[in-house]
Structure 1
Amino acid sequence: MSVHIATDPGDDATVGTHPVTGAADQTTADPTTAAPATAPPAEPAPGPRQGRGAALVGSTLLAVGVALAAANLRPAVTSLASVLGDVRASLGATTAWTSLLTAVPTVCFGVAAFAAPWLGRRFGMARAVGASLVVLTLGLVLRVLDGPAVLLGGTFTACAGIAVCNVLIPVVVKESFPDKVGFLTGVYTAALAAGAAVGAALTPTLETVLGSWQLAAATWALLSTAALLVWSASARHGAAPAVAPAHGARPAAPARRTSVLRSPLAWVITVFFGLQSLLAYTVMGWLPQIMADSGVDRTTAGMLLAITMVLGVPVSLVVPPLATRWGSQSWLVVLLGSLSIAGILGLAIAPVAAPGLWVVLIGTGMCVFPLALVIISLRTATAADTANLSAMAQSIGYLISAAGPFAFGVLRDVTGAWTVSMYVLAGVLVALIALGVIAGRPRTL
């Protein structure tokens, strides 16, 4: 959404797009050159202008760029998770270090997400997302070049690029495809789930073919490079029409001035987002190791994680459009949260009795993520509010979720088994459902 105020043709001032920045110049007539009493002829309104503040053009190619960028937002995590045992053995790492590695993505997502709205405003969505894909690619390559410290640093770097995309791409969807928010959110989250699944499923095979987990993990930089090329070709800022309001027309509503940090609903959504992220990254970080400790071989464990992720593809295509058609999304939260609890408890009580069923339940329940993104859009009235709430939910929410993977692994180390860790995770999901019921009620900030 864009607001432009007509100015003198020689004046380059504009009022940019979301969030609204700048102000129109006010011109005072020179008394020595005052016009006669009769009204002068109206000056032609300036034509449409291009600028970094304008929304990206919602083309088919941009939709492909959004999907391909989304496909790169999880392989950095799931690729390492699927070969975590080999990574730990080759580096001689401790359990505490391994727990820290699983927590790094969410910590980084939380910290870097604070800067995402500023980057979008300062450089424009096209450049901000493009630069983030560059950072992601460099991090994927750098992290396999040396030992444990470099691996942690490279993973943090890669996840910094992911964090910015996490915040800005949903804003691109709302701004550039306002009539297809549900559908494009579904495509975005389905691509994200597909990337996570492919990263988990193929990395063990790539390790076998290429001879090392380092080469297997670095291979995913090729996918991010492809996304960068498509994004560079598709992301174009559109025209921001500078049209003077008609005489007597009602002025546009002022931009929201109250910080979302003061909204109780925004905090409910933020903690809700944080708890669903805690579930997702705990599962992505530890599920293969849980399976391996239960006697499942490495390749099968990676495939089980891939199944968990790939279930998000069809479900993500259904949940967002369905959620936008209903006034309340609370019932969807209850349904998906209950499936996750059933899968976690099954994994805790009888992990090898029906592992396929447990991962199906967990994977389906984890589709509360696209629902959380839709709720962020539905609970906000403007793209500016969407960006601010998205940044708040993802920055603070990911910092909340960072405790999950780390505590999950440490608790296992203390108790000697995964059972207590999974019971605690099930309790967290009860809180997620309660908050989601509140967040899903139809209203806006």
Structure 2
Amino acid sequence: MSPRPARPDRDRGALAFPLLALVGVVLVSLNLRTAVTSISPLLGEIDAEIGLGATGMGLLGMVPTAMFALWGVLTPVLLRRAGLETVTVGAMVAAAGGQVVRALADDPWAMGVGSLVALAGMGIGNVVAPPLVKKYFPRHVSAVSTLYITGLQVGTVVPALLAVPVADAAGWRMSIGWWAALALVAVVPWAIEIARHGSPVVGGPAAGAGTRIRPWRSPVGLALALFFGTNSLCTYAFFTWMPAVAESIGMSRAEGGIALAVFSAIGLIAALVVPWIAGRVDDPYVVVVVSVACYLAGFAGLLWAPGAAPWIWIVLVGVGPSTFPLCLTLINLRTRTAAGSAALSGFSQGVGYTVASLGPIVFGALFSRVGLGAGLAFLLGVLAVMTVVSRVACRPRMLEDTLR
């Protein structure tokens, strides 16, 4: 790959105002899950007013992974036609507009359209965040990835915690709609950046890439996509079924809800630690080994000693998805350019979220019809695949150097 042409004016601006880009990246990360977790605790109340029905609520539950997968595939196409910053602004505007439509919805169709638009924006945001980090902070990928992944986790947990209190105080429409303001705030730093320097097309001459990058033609790209998919499949299976799993081992319904909160909160710790580790070792496979070991210990406890120390098993299973921040960090650590990061981000997340959508369905069917052991056996098979493909993804090789 030819080196990136010099852009002295842009380079000076990027160095002179790193804080603007940093704030922009963090604000984008805070908006990547608000439409997902702000609505889940309120589905019963929303159903009572606008009549979603069981089918409608089920479809709303499927939309996030479906839209994240779809826009994982489509976003690189957008980036070849518009600049990275322009696409980011469009993503945040869509996220804001969709959430406003949902807040004003009087029927299930409007709620569905609003959800599709909001989650399209967030799906695009998933893909553009890593290349934004790569482009503006190429020498500080691990540190800025820590901030962005932590922001993503905060944006996952906080809307769920505030949903019911805000709904009690101001109604469910305000509770799901006010997050649109945060998305509009995230537009500001990137609009300023566009006004100052424009928004070169990713993969075009201004980005330093002469040809289209096809990640599926690299073992690094294929391995990271499968790594992302197997990791996300296990994570989303537990996001959906953790309360039921907790109840199946003798915990109360309230404790099941707490178990899900604990499972989710551990991701905040992983977001702070894992990118730091990944940036300081050539081969961060140790993170995978520790994560899989925790999954195995947690599964064993849930199956064979559920009443002995249930909270320990929940915590161990919660450590398992520490591979998620590793996947996101590797998108930048295994690419040389912002164009490579964008291509790999779209491909790995497109494949990853498609695979992840199978997790709640397959695990749920096995768990509800056969038992917890069957569901965990399925996840063990997935973890075996993850252990193999992650070995390839973690090796210190670059996507651009391995394209065939």
TM-score by length of 1: 0.75
Q: 1:407 aligns with which of 362, 374, 388?
A: 362
1:114-263 equivalence runs, <5 A: 114-144=73-103, 145-212=105-172, 214-233=173-192, 238=197, 255=210, 259-263=214-218
Q: SS where residue 292 of structure 2 aligns?
A: helix
Partner of 1:9: none
Note if contact 2:134-2:337 (Cα within 8 Å) is conserved in structure 1.
no
* Unmatched segments (≥5 aa) in structure 2: 200-207
Amino acid at match of 2:101: L
What displacement does 1:115 show? 2.6
Partner of 1:106: 65
Residue 274 (str. 1) matches residue 229 (str. 2): yes
What displacement does 1:345 show? 5.2
What displacement does 1:2 show? 3.8
Partner of 2:5: 3
Q: SS where residue 396 of structure 2 aligns?
A: coil
What displacement does 1:281 show? 2.7
Q: Which one has a bigger Cα radius of gyration?
A: 1
Amino acid at match of 2:353: Y
Note if contact 2:102-2:115 (Cα within 8 Å) is conserved in structure 1.
yes
Q: SS where residue 381 of structure 1 aligns?
A: coil
1:316-395 equivalence runs, <5 A: 316-344=271-299, 346-347=301-302, 354=309, 356-395=311-350
What displacement does 1:190 show? 0.8
What displacement does 1:206 show? 2.9
CA distance in 1, matches of 2:78, 2:61: 27
Amino acid at match of 1:313: L
What displacement does 1:314 show? 3.1
CA distance in 2, matches of 1:308, 1:187: 20
* Unmatched segments (≥5 aa) in structure 1: 5-16, 18-46, 241-252
1:282-293 equivalence runs, <5 A: 282-288=237-243, 290-291=245-246
Percent identity reads 33
Note if contact 1:334-1:437 (Cα within 8 Å) is conserved in structure 2.
no
CA distance in 2, matches of 1:171, 1:302: 35
Note if contact 1:183-1:321 (Cα within 8 Å) is conserved in structure 2.
yes
C-alpha change, 1:129 and 1:303, in structure 2 (3 Å) is farther
Partner of 1:246: none
RMSD between aligned residues: 3.4
CA distance in 1, matches of 2:309, 2:9: 61
Amino acid at match of 1:322: I
1:303-355 deviation line (CA, Å, top 9, x unaligned): 54333333222321221121122111212111123223434554566767655
Q: SS where residue 179 of structure 1 aligns?
A: coil
What displacement does 1:192 show? 0.7
Q: SS where residue 332 of structure 2 aligns?
A: helix
CA distance in 2, matches of 1:270, 1:229: 32
CA distance in 1, matches of 2:52, 2:212: 52
Note if contact 1:207-1:216 (Cα within 8 Å) is conserved in structure 2.
yes
CA distance in 2, matches of 1:105, 1:72: 13
Q: Give the aligned length.
A: 386
CA distance in 2, matches of 1:364, 1:440: 19
Note if contact 2:219-2:392 (Cα within 8 Å) is conserved in structure 1.
no
CA distance in 1, matches of 2:167, 2:253: 15
Name the one with the larger helix percent. Answer: 2
Note if contact 1:143-1:155 (Cα within 8 Å) is conserved in structure 2.
yes
